[in-house]
Structure 1
């Protein structure tokens, strides 16, 4: 029985996207969060279960009820709860959210009752086929092979984790869908004219008062090749954030802590000249705090500005509005999958910086260094796939030097 003088843990309801309600509380002995699936999407039923659990916790009789049966026969909901709590919490929030969403899609297709239901070759083959056919897709059209491969990779990662825990056998191998080696970018670099259009529409979205702070951010993304999340962590003085550094007898650099890197490695990279000029345009007495702090949109609608600094996710969505308002299409409508046309985003500004470096003749190794890719191949595939016109120009220059030995089309035409 619980000590009558001790306080029971605070119990709350949570509703993961597309899944039943959960009853959650923090175990006072282990300081770990406990999650129990209510097995229902009905809030009233879940609320009654929450009240029952609160009463049991108050009496100290719920301890044995919270133990979940581990193994192939554990319920799929229990497995999802454990996978979310033990594994996905170790990932970055965006990565964890993406994994949850993809597992939700698989769950809607397969409707598994137990963990063991998913560790079956026929089941996995069926899931892959139905994903490819477009079942539970946003637009009701077939998915691309690349999308299906990434969704299946998330499922296999979860099942392999269960195998490492000793809860089930490793998932069987299935025949993977063939995909092209060069995957098209989900966006593209912007031209200078398109970037000017992006800047021009800023006041129509955020209002005149906030426009300057948002344009400063856009120029920073255009010149720096930083991701939006990284730009929002750029600080004038805090070494725990991304820090621009000017040191005597050295060229300026950006210092990036490991915690803010996708590869979890602390790194220092060259500060691009255009970005340095932008930073130095800020008066010295204003070089404190965050470098980029876009202002609230609320005053545009006659409301007081919200307290606190904007998140990178929200800022990214606002920049997406700029791209839509400017009518900059970076990926056309896909008639096969039904995916709508994509307008310019914050990440397209990073692509733009990469392409400008490539056009300027910056060596591939240095471009990869600035973008912090493991290899040039990653940069080439996703950020700088190359320009056929640039390749044609190089070929023509080489062949023109050998014009006396290389037959021309006109030679053939005159002889016929």
Structure 2
């Protein structure tokens, strides 16, 4: 049975006017407002009107709502509809805004406060890390522009939601980092030699009994380009809300249900040939494809992508695969996906790579993969010319008088 809302008229010693008060059925906390008068009969009429509005659903909280109550209200309303990774990202944005700006009510979510928050996110910070000698040392660092943009995107979504609920009169202005600045990978594609080092380091991190199960997961990420969460959800058979394999030789595909997709769309994606060769010999009728074992090798790990990702990062650290010298970041699960994208960017057209990587926008593909290959392409051109001429590199194309070099004339090159 729904709780009946009753508005009471109360007198506080420290206030001249009477106060209207009721208990919110959503938060369980008391909501109050001034009656604007010290006359009880007039206050009781206002209480009756407010009570009628509450029961009819016409009442909406306003910008005076306490920030902690607003966060609880947002979490109750929004968390059930979000993926686990999104929940974690929203929590980071909320926590950093709380810590840096100390809001007390919803009205504190203003343009000026957001501007100050952005500046604080970019400010140089210090943290204590373990040095090469095992002793703690203090290092300076800054959040990447990608992290700043992520926090601002989530806070902006919260502000828009508050505005739609009638809690915030206006959505504050957000100066988002320029896309060109943000378009830097947090890591980098690792090389084949570095991947082999990660495989060699696996046993030392997870133990002998579990090593092979973790190596299979690493190879699966390396050859398929799956995100870690997708790999942990991958099954041999069709499963609602999941990802499953459809192995059929050259026609093999990955099937993504809408709930498993970052884009929220149902999709069939070609499975890379190397992944087909890896998985076909171990094909089963049902169950999860990748089942990394606990350290004693007796049971499967809980299918927690965050925990499993941390273990893969420990493997990358143990292998000494440094992907960002500026921050000291070592290889993670996503760097295996980056390596997959980098390899295939040299083999297929950008539109095909977009489908293979399941990017929502071709801009992402061009920025992070195709656009990163300019130097590699330049080197390949010199190698190709060397193969044509029989030399490892061409001689100067012209002499001081501007005439073509004899070596290029002999090979049929013309200006």
TM-score, normalized by the shorter chain, greater than 0.5:
yes
Question: What corresponds to 1:43 in structure 2?
Answer: none
Cα gap change, 1:141 to 1:224, in 2 (>3 Å): closer
**What is the 5 A alignment of 1:58-77?**
70-77=61-68
Q: Deviations over 1:96-148 (max 9, x none)?
A: 111111111111121111111223x3322222222222479897644344433
Shift of 1:242: 1.7
3-state DSSP of counterpart to 1:255 = strand
Structure 1 unaligned spans of 5+: 3-26, 28-33, 39-63, 300-304, 335-339, 402-406
Question: What corresponds to 1:127 in structure 2?
Answer: 117
Shift of 1:88: 3.5
Q: Contact 1:235 / 1:242 at 8 angstroms: preserved in 2?
A: yes
**What is the 5 A alignment of 1:20-35?**
35=27
Are residue 202 (structure 1) and residue 183 (structure 2) matched?
A: no
Cα gap change, 1:398 to 1:313, in 2 (>3 Å): closer
Are residue 312 (structure 1) and residue 305 (structure 2) matched?
A: yes
Q: Contact 1:89 / 1:96 at 8 angstroms: preserved in 2?
A: no
Cα gap change, 1:393 to 1:160, in 2 (>3 Å): same
Which deviates the most, 101-110 or 126-135? Answer: 126-135
Shift of 1:250: 7.4
**What is the 5 A alignment of 1:96-245?**
96-119=87-110, 121-134=111-124, 141-173=141-173, 175-178=175-178, 180-181=180-181, 183-240=183-240, 241-245=242-246
Query: C-alpha distance in 2, partners of 1:101/1:37?
Result: 25
Q: Contact 1:146 / 1:179 at 8 angstroms: preserved in 2?
A: no
3-state DSSP of counterpart to 1:386 = helix
Shift of 1:319: 0.9
Structure 2 unaligned spans of 5+: 3-24, 31-54, 129-138, 389-394, 404-415
Larger radius of gyration: 2
3-state DSSP of counterpart to 1:85 = helix
Q: Contact 1:293 / 1:309 at 8 angstroms: preserved in 2?
A: no
3-state DSSP of counterpart to 1:327 = coil
Shift of 1:219: 0.9
Are residue 374 (structure 1) and residue 375 (structure 2) matched?
A: no
Q: TM-score, normalised by structure 1?
A: 0.72
Question: What corresponds to 2:18 in structure 1?
Answer: none
3-state DSSP of counterpart to 1:281 = helix
Question: What corresponds to 1:352 in structure 2?
Answer: 339
3-state DSSP of counterpart to 2:234 = coil
Query: C-alpha distance in 2, partners of 1:170/1:271?
Result: 47
Question: What corresponds to 2:6 in structure 1?
Answer: none
**What is the 5 A alignment of 1:390-409?**
390-393=376-379, 396=382, 408=396
Q: Deviations over 1:233-278 (max 9, x none)?
A: 111123333221145x971211111110011111111121111111
Query: C-alpha distance in 2, partners of 1:370/1:97?
Result: 27
Query: C-alpha distance in 2, partners of 1:388/1:210?
Result: 41
Q: Contact 1:109 / 1:136 at 8 angstroms: preserved in 2?
A: no
Question: What corresponds to 2:267 in structure 1?
Answer: 267
Shift of 1:399: 8.9
Q: Deviations over 1:53-91 (max 9, x none)?
A: xxxxxxxxxxx9xxx981110000111111111123322
Q: Contact 1:149 / 1:176 at 8 angstroms: preserved in 2?
A: yes
Q: Which has the higher contact order (CA 8 A, sep 6+)?
A: 1
* RMSD of Structure 2 on Structure 1 (CA): 3.6
